[in-house]
Amino acid sequence: MENKTILITGAGSGFGEGTAIGLAQSGYQVIAGVQISPQVTSLRNKAKELGLEGNLRVEKLDILDHFDVEYALTWDIDILFSNAGKGEAGPVFEIPIELVRSNFETNVFAPLDLAQKFIAKWINEKRGGKVVFTSSMGGLFTPPGFGIYVATKHALEAIAEAMLDELKKYNIKIQTINPGAYLTGYNETMSDNAFRWLDDSKNFTKRDEMKATFASLLDKPEGRLDPKEMIDAMIKIVPSDTGKFRNVVPKFVEDMIKEHQIKAWDVEI
């Protein structure tokens, strides 16, 4: 199993970086794709310090850069861990539409394009493979203030579920990983993004109101979980040959989402 080569996108920080290091420490061959050049240098230095230069290769891979993508397709990999993404927050009825398009480009269109290209490569080479998408707890329900971001993850869930069935005959496996609200800085940065454009003199939603909404979700223990738990789970899930299609972590979030989905049938306007 340790002979597998795993490409991770969005490996310059957070879950991606932690999982890249953890998989390399477990003996896998890892290609860590990072968005910008400074992240290349930083992660290469970490790999050197940890003695992982032999099996943690760091490359610039901005999934929106077609030159980066075409270069990545020359790499021989067994698993694509599609982890790169970004988040736009704020009220759905007011968020600038160009930010919506941009969020879908990064979280849906670019990951789909990259996955399609590697899948075609595997099929042409008559070999199996695996794609794991980082979705979100928000791929399965919609909290206030994060509607656009989670809409991209809802779309990713549908794409992955369709692929799961379509690709069985090619021995290509598909999984999603659905993290809860772990404190990597990602959710906090996403929340900050809304205040680039929210203007009390123009928008119906006031900045203080939006801050209170974000605080109600993130300023509590279940909104600030230790990311090590999620990284440890990713290290087990990504290289595995078997397992669940959908992987919500931690368990209390899975239970909360199931309860929410049942109650959704009784929601009234």
- pLDDT-above-70 percentage for the chain: 99
pTM: 0.96
Distance CA 54, CA 24 (A): 9
Distance CA 75, CA 62 (A): 15
Residue 186, Cβ density class (10 Å: 0-12 exposed, 13-18 middle, ≥19 buried): buried
* pLDDT class of 1 with cuts at 50, 70, 90: very low
pLDDT, residue 2, reads 63
pLDDT, residue 232, reads 98
Span 5-26, average pLDDT: 98
pLDDT over threshold 70, residue 90: yes
pLDDT over threshold 80, residue 154: yes
Distance CA 34, CA 62 (A): 7
Span 103-127, average pLDDT: 98
pLDDT over threshold 70, residue 76: yes
Q: Pick from 59, 56, 48, 49: which is nearest to 26 by CA?
A: 56
Q: 81 with 238: CB under 8 angstroms?
A: yes
Express each pLDDT in 231-258 by its tens digit. 999 999 999 999 999 999 999 999 999 9
